[in-house]
Amino acid sequence: NRQWFKSAVGMDISEMPREETFCQYTIMQDGIVEVPNTLENDTFKNHEHVAGEFGIRFYLGIPITTPDGYNIGTVCAVDTIPHQITDEERAALSLFAKHVITQLQLRLSNQELTKAKDMAEKAVYAKDSFMANMSHEIRTPMNAIMGFTELLLQSKLNSQQAQFVHNVQTAGENLLLIINDILDISKI
């Protein structure tokens, strides 16, 4: 609904309502809108910026178009004297409009990448915290199991019971090694 001037030389305004602009016509087009002399153009000769304080006599604009075909803005040049432009100048304007949309897309992509990076870092932190907490939570009862198996082995057991307790102790030691490795990885 508004036109913002990102660069304006000789004008003391930074924005105006869209319906007051020449760009309202350009943004509806697929290509360059060129008005060499606004006084000779039926669309613009009675426009308030032609007859009024700005005295615009020349307009050149091109839409800024997204890759999916949406016109989201314009690049334009206006002057108070009529002009004829060359094919090279038209090509330069088209190239500039493509450069603008490329820059906007890069900025959007960078913002999306930053968000994705932040989400990934948070996910890694959550995973690491979970692994560390789970490892600590498992280590405490494992140490108790290891301690009680050691006490059982010191008591009077028949050979079958001693073998069972020894197997439990071996499995517990192996499990404790795995838990310690997980803790080390989460610390790294």
Residues in the chain: 188
Mean pLDDT of 80-86: 94
What is the C-alpha to C-alpha distance for residues 122 and 98, in angstroms, rounded to an integer?
36
Token pair belonging to 22: 């020449």
| 14-47: pLDDT as tens digits | 888 888 888 889 999 999 999 999 999 999 999 9
Going by pLDDT thresholds of 50, 70 and 90, the confidence category of residue 6 is confident
Percent of the chain with pLDDT over 70: 98
Residue 147 has pLDDT above 80, yes or no: yes
Return the DSSP state at 22: S
pLDDT value at position 35? 95
What is the C-alpha to C-alpha distance for residues 86 and 82, in angstroms, rounded to an integer?
14
What is the C-alpha end-to-end distance of the chain, expressed in Å?
53
pLDDT value at position 186? 65
Asked which of 36-40, 91-95, 149-153 is least confident by mean pLDDT, the reply is 149-153
Residue 177 has pLDDT above 80, yes or no: yes
What torsion do the CA atoms of 90, 93, 99, 105 make, to the nearest 10 degrees? -100
Are 54 and 11 spatial neighbours (Cβ–Cβ below 8 Å)? Answer: yes
Residue 188 has pLDDT above 70, yes or no: no
Are 132 and 187 spatial neighbours (Cβ–Cβ below 8 Å)? Answer: yes
Return the DSSP state at 73: E
User: Which phi and psi angles does 52 have, rounded to 5°?
Assistant: -95, -150
What is the C-alpha to C-alpha distance for residues 186 and 171, in angstroms, rounded to an integer?
23
Average pLDDT, the chain: 88
What torsion do the CA atoms of 68, 20, 56, 90 make, to the nearest 10 degrees? 0
pLDDT value at position 181? 82
Residue 141 has pLDDT above 90, yes or no: no
Helix residue ranges, H only, 35-83: 48-51
Mean pLDDT of 58-69: 94
Residue 7 has pLDDT above 80, yes or no: no
